[in-house]
Amino acid sequence: MVALSFAAVLFFLMSPAHADWDWRAGFGGRSLPLGAAGVAELGYGQLLWGQPGEGKFLYGYIRPLLRYQGLGLANRGDLALEVNPISFLNLRGGLRSRYRFLGSFSTLDCDSAICRGLLTSPFVSGKMVLGARGVFFGFTWSWEKISLNDTSRRFAEEFSALYGAPGGDTLLGTELLLGSDIADDWSAGALWQQFRMRSSGTSNDLKGLFARKKWDQWSGIFGCGAYESSTQSPAGPVIFFQAEFRGTPTLAIF
């Protein structure tokens, strides 16, 4: 079955019809914990069924991709495959590696935790976005099994700002958002985001409001809210932002 599935993927990737390269790049940051990172992604979308286009959503596709996120001191790379059985349902799985040069981190104690070196992890995630009459709802879920060779002490995962158990841990993520179109190319809404380490028990929680603007190939998000984490006390206000540029047309609708 695995061999048959892999052969099917290769067949579709080698077919020239409705397949093309796409890329996107962006930059984002937040005030608590203080941090920023750039993002770059290269993918190859292959239409499986239906017909994409402006205002159309009844189609499906697969998309192998390479993704980088970081800012020099902390770097994360993904090799993954996306499967969209329908355009608004995205399933992604692959292998993730991080390499960190951190000497300290604003919310994590690098004297008692491993903040440097290589972390590897298989990961899977799912994302669904539904919308009608200008109102939209989004749900994202992620699972990641992080491992490292050093079992002498806990490790720090800088993107979630959490501690993992010695030798490895499972990072779980959940995000919900509800929003509405409010004007031409403007939308706004509320979101809730949580990350937690299964074995160590560390977790964080963000609740906020956001506004989104789209223009040409650009999109930007700005928001504020409240951030609470088991690795930081007390809870506090947070400001976050993200800008993205889609360099080429893509089959993805989000």
**pLDDT band (50, 70, 90) for residue 102:** confident
Asked, for residue 235, whether it belongs to a domain, the answer is yes
Asked, for residue 15, whether it belongs to a domain, the answer is yes
Asked, for residue 154, whether it belongs to a domain, the answer is yes
For residue 82, what is the domain's CATH number?
2.40.160.40
d(CA 155, CA 150): 9
Reply yes or no on whether the pLDDT at 230 is more than 60: yes
Q: pLDDT for 64-83, tens place per residue?
A: 999 999 988 889 999 999 99
Asked, for residue 209, whether it belongs to a domain, the answer is yes
Asked, for residue 253, whether it belongs to a domain, the answer is no
Mean of all residue pLDDT scores within the chain = 90
Range of the domain at 187: 2-246
Q: Residue 4, class by beta-carbon neighbours within 10 Å (0-12 exposed, 13-18 middle, 19+ buried)?
A: exposed
Asked, for residue 62, whether it belongs to a domain, the answer is yes
Q: pLDDT for 14-63, tens place per residue?
A: 455 557 999 999 999 999 888 899 999 999 999 999 999 888 899 999 99
Asked, for residue 121, whether it belongs to a domain, the answer is yes
How many domains are contained in the chain?
1
Q: What angle do CA 188, 194, 196 make, to 5 degrees?
A: 165
Among residues 25, 18, 82, the alpha carbon closest in space to that of 53 is found at 18
Asked, for residue 251, whether it belongs to a domain, the answer is no
